Chain A
Amino acid sequence: MTTQVFLDTVGEERPAVSPLKTGAPLEDIAVAGQWRLIWGRFIQHRVAVGAGIVIAVFYFIALFVEFLAPALPEASRPQYTYAPPQSIGLFVADESGGTRFQPHVKGYAIEVDPVALRRTFVVDDTKIVPIGFFVEGPTYKLWGVFAMNRHLIGPLNPTDPMYLLGTDKLGRDLMTRLIYGTRVSMSIGLVGVAISLCLGVVLGSLSGFYGGWVDMTIQRIIEVISSMPTIPLWLGLAAAIPLTWSPLQVYFVITLIVSLFGWTGLAREVRGRFYALRGEDFVTAARLDGSGERRLIFRHILPSLTSHILAVLTLAIPTMIVAETALSFLGVGLKPPVVSWGVLLQDAQNIRTVATAPWLLVWPAAAVVVVVLAYNFLGDGLRDAADPYES
């Protein structure tokens, strides 16, 4: 091989770098904290940011349900039971024969069929129900404090029917109920999720980290708890909780108690991973650095489980929202008059609805699915952002 020397490189004092965009000045490279880095990476994840926005929107809705909903959740109109959804039109025919801009929905022509025991609805093109934004409608108390009657959207004449998503068996506006349901569904179950998560992570960590008798004890507890079917527990609790509590309080307490029983799965998974990780060199290194056990567990080992925990979390949230419906099946979930997505779904759990009023099933289910997906993609984005291997 011939000898070659590249003397033009003699003076180089550091590795070659160049700015990200050609032409941009290469400033002194800023040092950022880990959190800022993670945030920076998260921001670049378009789907995740979108999901985050969706969730924010849902919480926004939950905050202003009274204003956003066109009607009141309890307001029922007998003649409109099982009314199908209306569609919005933008232009109406003028007297002069032309068209003019007027957002509206069409009213219904209703017939009662006493043999089949139902009302049949036909869209009546002649009944124009003009609608608008910031209209006056039924009075409500925002956050139970401020009496107001402005609604984001609604019929100009509050007595006209506007049922964009249809009505339920008692002639109540599904859209209103769906919006009201957001508040409960997006809040209550989450407390339980948070508690289970903490318990699962902490106890699983301790069990896997220490092994020995700690592990022995925690495992026995887990065995007892997880072999205990929840159904009898529900039934027992339902009977034990004082009746003077409102259904919402009862449900809240029940989710709390159940979360005390729901951590075992995560705990065992965490334990399994801890078992594998606790002997790693980097853990030993951290121990030699003087980290106490708490720091070892939470600062050094647990981050390795970020992905798993985020996945479990994003799975637990929909499970909690949906679980409410199953609990109702057993008679311990949320019940009317509380409005939640679970309650709406529970109302839809019969052939009658599936066959003749599918909108009662589709919209609440869609709401759950959207939130669930949004939480999941958000979790995904966070995972990716926290992943050291992602740039």
Chain B
Amino acid sequence: MMGRYIVKRLIYMVPTLIGMSIIAFLIIQLPPGDYLTSMIARMTESGENVDPAQVARLREIYGLDDPVLIQYWKWISGILLRGDFGHSFEWNRPVSDLIWERMGSTLAISLASLLFVWAVALPIGIYSAVRRHSFGDYAFTFLGFLGLAIPNFILALTLMYVTYRYLGQSVGGLYSPQYVEAPWSWGKFVDLLSHLWIPIIVIGTSGTAALIRILRANLTDELNKPYVVTAKAKGLPEYKVVLKYPVRIALNPFVSAIGWVLPELISGVTITAIVLNLPTAGPLLLRALVSQDMYLAGSFILLMGVLTLIGMLVSDLLLALLDPRIRFT
């Protein structure tokens, strides 16, 4: 049954993906101009003169004067028939190379921040729900909302300034310059850790408040249910009662949200990544969009679509795992 369900979902994904790729491609085409416009913008910015005739010629050579649908077909048929995601105009490299290069660090940072967020928010959320209106509850709420209310890039900037000013550490990126090309070593690892905390805190603080509050809200509702009293009457210590029973039900919204955790972490923290100079996918995507490097941008969006779909499937399966009442409906 389960197997059938999964297969069914996988089949549904195909039309969804096709629709998604078309919409993505159209949205990318929405801003006026194309890659060459942005190339001219870039070159004139630095004072260079660009000859319009030259540009028209380039446009022809790159196939940018084809109708959108033909461009789309070239791209999607390349993917479907040859597994070729196209060539990035801006980086002059195959799109798939570029994407994979960034995926490792993106996943690492995303997962680290996700773990951080969960590790911080779950206990605090539970604490806040169980000890509602206590000093701790208010204090954590305050801190959480502080993190939420201060825009990420400002927090990032401030933290970087503070590290520069008081810790004298190399800022931005994941490594100090001397370690970027170095092979893996203990020193490089320590260096990585000393760089990683800022992004994790910045990305983390903006997410914890949401998690804490939602968990607290849902948990408060569950805490009054008779089955919780039953569990207490068994003599379970409070933390076990809470963890085993109501938390499981209160997790429902989080599990629902798993679907877009990955895409969210990739695209949602773009600005932070730019400010912190992190080698993640977000800034690459943003650049691709701004410079209208359409195959790169399109493939990125498609990839995030796939991730979303997988995430949604996983989340639906987890929902069923968490709550038997939901199964197979």
Contact = CB atoms under 8 A, between A and B. Distances in A.
Nearest to A321: B149
Interface string A222-256: 11101111111101111110000000000000000
A377 B138 CA distance: 9
Contacts of B146: 369
A312 B19 CA distance: 30
Interface stretch (A105-113, A133-141, A290-298, A345-353): A345-353
A276 interface: yes
A127 interface: no
A83 interface: no
Contacts of B24: 228, 232
Given A223-B309, A354-B157, A315 B220 contact: no
Given A227-B308, A308-B217, A322 B149 contact: yes
A300 B314 CA distance: 29
Contact of B214 (A264, A308, A361, A389): A308
A308 B252 CA distance: 11
A376 B213 contact: yes
Contacts of A220: 12, 15-16
Interface in A306-357: 307-308, 310-312, 314-315, 318-319, 321-322, 325-326, 329-330, 345, 348-351, 354-355
A269 interface: yes
Contact of B256 (A232, A237, A271, A318): A271
A230 B157 CA distance: 24
A276 B158 contact: no
A304 interface: yes
14 contacts: A219-B312, A220-B16, A224-B23, A230-B267, A232-B24, A236-B31, A238-B31, A268-B257, A275-B319, A279-B325, A349-B157, A369-B149, A373-B141, A373-B142
A310 B16 contact: no
Given A226-B263, A232-B297, A272-B255, A319 B27 contact: no
A350 B157 contact: yes
A326 B32 CA distance: 22
Nearest to A331: B290
B216 A311 contact: yes
B208 to A, nearest CB: 11
B201 interface: no
Contact of B148 (A264, A322, A351, A361): A322
Interface string B114-148: 00000000000000000001000010011001101
Interface in A254-282: 264-265, 268-269, 271-273, 275-276, 279
Contacts of B290: 235
B280 interface: no
Given A216-B12, A351-B157, A369-B145, 7 more contacts: A219-B312, A220-B12, A269-B252, A272-B253, A275-B323, A318-B149, A376-B145
A223 B16 CA distance: 8
Q: Is the interface of B mostly helix, strand, loop or mixed?
A: helix
B2 interface: no
A77 B218 CA distance: 52
A211 interface: yes
Interface of B: 12, 15-16, 19-20, 23-24, 27-28, 30-32, 133, 138, 141-142, 145-146, 148-154, 157-158, 161, 165, 209-210, 213-214, 216-218, 220-221, 224, 249, 252-253, 255-257, 259-260, 263, 267, 270-271, 285-286, 289-290, 297, 300-301, 304-305, 307-309, 312, 315, 319, 323, 325-326, 329
Given A227-B305, A233-B27, A361-B158, A326 B271 contact: yes
Nearest to B249: A276
Contacts of A376: 141, 145, 213
A228 to B, nearest CB: 7
Contacts of A275: 319, 323, 325-326, 329
A164 interface: no
A183 interface: no
Given A219-B312, A372-B148, A376-B145, A383 B220 contact: yes
A315 B257 contact: no
A347 to B, nearest CB: 11
Contacts of B329: 211, 275
Name, among A211, A227, A318, the residue most crowded by chain B CB atoms within 10 Å (CB to CB). Answer: A227
Contact of A387 (B221, B312, B325): B221
B256 A268 contact: yes
A321 B220 CA distance: 27
B301 A232 contact: yes
Given A275-B329, A310-B217, A349-B154, A372 B256 contact: no
Interface in A375-391: 376-377, 383, 387, 389
A361 to B, nearest CB: 6
A235 B270 CA distance: 15
A269 B220 contact: no
A161 B19 CA distance: 60
A376 B145 CA distance: 9
A314 B149 CA distance: 12
A222 B259 CA distance: 10
A265 B220 contact: no
A24 B7 CA distance: 69
B151 A231 contact: no
B256 A368 contact: no
A365 interface: yes
A304 B166 CA distance: 50
B253 A227 contact: no
Nearest to B320: A275
Nearest to B329: A211
A384 B256 CA distance: 25
Nearest to A46: B133
A308 B325 contact: no
A239 B325 contact: no
A321 B256 CA distance: 25
B252 A351 contact: no
What are the nearest 9 A-B pairs in CB distance? A236-B30, A227-B308, A311-B217, A307-B217, A227-B305, A389-B224, A272-B256, A269-B253, A229-B267
A265 B257 contact: yes
A372 B154 contact: no
A145 B319 CA distance: 56
Interface string A60-74: 000000000000000
Contact of A322 (B27, B138, B151, B257): B151
Nearest to A372: B149
